[in-house]
Amino acid sequence: MTAEPAVPGLDPHRSPSPGTELDEPALRVWRAFLQASVLLPRRLDEELQAAHGLSLAEYDTLLHIANAPDRRVRMSVLADRVLLSRSGITRLVDRLVANGMVERWACPTDARGAEAVLTGSGLDRLREAAKTHVAGIERHFLAPLDATDREAIEHGLGRVAEALDPCSQAMTAAPSRPAD
Amino acid sequence: MTAEPAVPGLDPHRSPSPGTELDEPALRVWRAFLQASVLLPRRLDEELQAAHGLSLAEYDTLLHIANAPDRRVRMSVLADRVLLSRSGITRLVDRLVANGMVERWACPTDARGAEAVLTGSGLDRLREAAKTHVAGIERHFLAPLDATDREAIEHGLGRVAEALDPCSQAMTAAPSRPAD
DNA sequence: TAAGATTGATAACTCAATCTTA
DNA sequence: TAAGATTGAGTTATCAATCTTA
C-alpha cells in the first residue's frame, strides 16, 4: 500500500528528466483517446459480427465498394481506403468473394489490375448490416458527445489523421463527390 | 465518371430508409475518429518498434507494471488495464520474460495467481522507450490539437470509453493513486 | 464449483518474394 | 524496370478447453 511513488520518468507526479513525460492533462486526453480507439471499434465489430456475421473491416470494405462509381473499385484503391496492406485487402476480398458478396473482375484499362465488384447479395447484406452499424455508432459514439465535442473531434482528429496520412483524407473531406 | 449517386441507404445524399444512415456532419466526425484511431496507434507502434524493438502493446504493458506499487501486478489486472484477453496478456508477458524485461512470480496471497514483475533491465528499456513514445504523442497527437480540442476529446471520448467499459476507467481518471 | 492462468487451435493481419503486364 | 496483385511465412491476437488452487 501507500503505493511506491511510481517510476521516475514515467509517473506524472515526479519530473526527473524533463521532456520525457506528459503532464497530467495531456496524459488524460491521450488515455481517453486510446481507450476509445480500442473499445469502440471492438464493440461495433462485435455487434456487426453477432447480427450479420461481418467484421468491421469487411463492412467497411463493402461500403467503400458500394459507394464507388459503378460499385466497383481497384484493389489498390480499396486497400488505401480501408487502411489495409495490399495483401491484407487481397485476403479480405477473398473472403467476401467466397461468401458471394463480391466478384473479382479484370480491370478493362489495365490488365495487371483487378477490380472488386459488389454483387446484389453483397448489397443486400450491406444494407441490412448498415442498420446495425449506424445504430451502434449513434449509440456508442455520437450519443455521449455534445455539439462542441463533435466539432472539436472532427477538427482535431481530422488534423491528426491528415498529418499521418494525407492521402486517406479525400474520402473523409468530400464523400463521394468527384470534384470538390 | 460523374459518379453514380452511390448506394441508396448508405450515401448521405439520398434518404431511402430514414434512420439507416448518418447525416453528413455525423459521418465526418465518425470518419475522423476512425481514421485517427487506426493511423495514430499504428504510427506510434512503428516508431517504438524501429527505435526500441517494442510494440505499443508491450510498451503499455511495461508502463502499467512500472506504475504499479512495487512494480508488480497480477496478470488479470494487467489484462484489464491493457485491454487484452487473459490469454493475450499471458503471451505478451511470455515475450517480455523471454527478453528479460519481466519476471513471473507466484502470488503470495493466492497460489492460483501470478504476478508480472518488472526487472531492472525492463525499467531501463521502458525509460529509453518513453522518450520516443512521449515525443511521438506530442508530435502526432497533441500538436495538432488546440486547448478546446483537447478538452472535448478528454471529456467526450472519456464518456464514450466509460460507457463501453466502466471498469477500465479507474486508471484514466486517477493515475497510480490507491484511493481517490 | 468457480476463479486465475495457461495451452491448443484458429483467424486476420504483416512483410518479403513472386508473377504478370505497362 | 517498375507497378498491380497475389502467395508464403511469420506474428499476434482470439476463443474454448484444461490445469491448479480457493
Averages of pLDDT over runs of 10 residues in chain A (180 residues) are 40 48 94 98 98 98 98 98 98 98 98 98 98 98 98 98 82 40
Across the interface, which of B28, B43, B144 has its CB nearest the CB of A154? Answer: B28
Contact B37 A35 (CB under 8 A): no
Q: Where residue B12 falls among pLDDT bands split at 50, 70, 90? A: very low
Percentage of residues in chain B with pLDDT exceeding 90? Answer: 80
Q: Kindly report the CA angle at A52 between A77 and B13, in degrees rounded to 5?
A: 55
Per the model's pLDDT, the better-predicted residue between B94 and A5 turns out to be B94
Spatial distance from the CA of B113 to the C1' of C1 (Å): 18
Find the radius of gyration of the CA atoms of chain B: 21
Please report the pLDDT score of residue B32 as a whole number.
97
CA–CA gap between residue B59 and residue B172 (Å, rounded) = 17
Please give the biggest Cα pair distance in chain A. Answer: 70
Question: Which of A126, A122, A123 lies closest to A51, judged by CA?
Answer: A126
Spatial distance from the CA of B50 to the C1' of D1 (Å): 30
Which of A23, A33, A168 should we substitute to test contact with B (largest number of B Cβ atoms within 10 Å)? A33
Please report the pLDDT score of residue B52 as a whole number.
98
pLDDT tens digits for range B96-138: 999 999 999 999 999 999 999 999 999 999 999 999 999 999 9
Per the model's pLDDT, the better-predicted residue between B76 and A11 turns out to be B76
Q: Which residue is nearest to nucleotide D13 (CA to C1')?
A: B88
Residues by CB within 7 A of strand C: list them: A 55, 57, 84-88, 91-92, 95, 110-112; B 74-77, 86-87, 89-91, 93-94, 104, 107, 110, 112-115
Task: Please give, rounded to a whole number of angstroms, the shortest distance from the CA of B70 to a CA of chain A.
Answer: 6
CA–CA gap between residue B113 and residue B140 (Å, rounded) = 39
CA–CA gap between residue B59 and residue B71 (Å, rounded) = 14
Phi, psi of B114 (to 5 degrees): -130, 150
CA–CA gap between residue B78 and residue B82 (Å, rounded) = 6
pLDDT tens digits for range B39-72: 999 999 999 999 999 999 999 999 999 999 999 9
CA–CA gap between residue B80 and residue B40 (Å, rounded) = 22
Q: Is the predicted pLDDT of residue B167 greater than 80, yes or no?
A: no
Among all residues of chain B, which has the CA nearest to that of A156? B145
Contact B164, B75 (CB under 8 A): no
Please report the pLDDT score of residue B169 as a whole number.
65
Using CA atoms, how far residue B150 sits from A24, A145, B2, B50, B140, in Å, is 12, 14, 39, 28, 13
Nearest nucleotide to the CA of B113, by C1', is: C4
Question: Which of B62, B67, B46, B44 lies closest to B133, judged by CA?
Answer: B44
Question: Which of B63, B40, B151 lies closest to B159, judged by CA?
Answer: B151
Contact B3 A69 (CB under 8 A): yes
Find the radius of gyration of the CA atoms of chain A: 21
Q: Kindly report the CA angle at A79 between A77 and A81, in degrees rounded to 5?
A: 70
Please report the pLDDT score of residue A67 as a whole number.
97
CA–CA gap between residue B34 and residue A153 (Å, rounded) = 11
CA–CA gap between residue A133 and residue A125 (Å, rounded) = 12
Q: Which residue is nearest to nucleotide C13 (CA to C1')?
A: A88
